[in-house]
Amino acid sequence: MITTRAITKTYTDEDIITNALRSITLSIEQGEFVAIMGPSGSGKSTLLQMLSFLDRPTTGIIEFQGKQITDLSDSELAELRNRTIGFVFQSFNLLARQTVYANVELPLIYGDLKPELRAARIHNAIEAVGLSEKTKIHAGKLSGGQKQRVAIARALVTDPSVIFADEPTGNLDSVSGTQVMEILTDLHKHGKTIILVTHDLKTAHYANRLITFKDGMIESDKKL
């Protein structure tokens, strides 16, 4: 589903050059649940940004569903991302003063779904994360675990084929973290491809495959 061929990413900031990724060649099949681990600064978030087309590699090729996407324009990439990818961040990235409903609705505003179909989708996504009774509450009033569940509903609402999660349990207590991982596991059982970055080996074990990173390179890649 996603293949990278020798991708690299170099950041140039003032006079400082950082080789965040050094030649990553990797294939992820549809329906996999992949965990990525590695020290802070080893390039995990950079890789997720490349795989989800949030940013482009400096060199190398990325194919998505058999098509090379590295040549697409920014607007074509944005459209493809909106249709196929959901993203969950460590820090939730919700609009605190908007309701749960409005937060989950956001990705649909950019899509072309008819307004009457939207509401059902939104309610289904909120129900899938167990927050139906919080639909009209402002997101800022929720606990961390509830916020992350809203973020998952927002990632889900477009019915993407791949869900990326960059340390989704990093700011959560262990009970909320377990709930979030159980939701991701359930989505995987229903056919979603999940690509997760985590610091925690126990969290990584929800996945079927573990890739470890070191200094911008893949150190190991094994089935779990």
Ligand X SMILES: Nc1ncnc2c1ncn2[C@@H]1O[C@H](COP(=O)(O)OP(=O)(O)O)[C@@H](O)[C@H]1O
Which positions lie near Mg ion, rule CB under 5 A?
A: 44-45
- Residue 146 or residue 169: which is nearer to ligand X going by CB? 169
Residue 65 or 91: which CB sits closer to Mg ion? 91
Residue 20 binding target from ligand X, Mg ion, none, CB below 5 to 8 Å by type = ligand X
CB of 25: closest distance to Mg ion in angstroms? 21
Nearer to ligand X, 13 or 116 (CB): 13
Rounded to the nearest 10 degrees, the angle between the axes of helix 144-156 and helix 174-189 is: 20
The entry of ligand X, Mg ion, none near residue 146 (CB within 5 to 8 angstroms by kind) is: none
Angle, nearest 10°, between helix axes 100-109 and 115-128?
130
In the bound state with Mg ion, the residue whose beta carbon lies nearer, of 9 and 44, is: 44
Residue 60 partner contact from Mg ion, ligand X, none using kind-dependent CB cut-offs of 5 to 8 Å: none
* C-beta of residue 97 within 8 angstroms of C-beta of residue 140: yes
Do the Cβ atoms of 209 and 35 come closer than 8 Å?
yes
The residue with its CB nearest to Mg ion is 45
Q: Sort residue 125 into left (φ over 0), alpha (ψ -120 to 50) or beta.
A: alpha
Query: Least distance from C-beta 197 to ligand X, angstroms?
Result: 7
Contact criterion met (CB below 8 Å) for 224 and 202: no
- Residues of the shown chain interacting with ligand X in the complex, contacts defined by CB under 6 A: 11, 13, 18, 20, 38, 40-46
Torsion of CA 136, 142, 146, 147, to 10 degrees: 90
- Closest distance to ligand X from the beta carbon of 90 (Å): 10
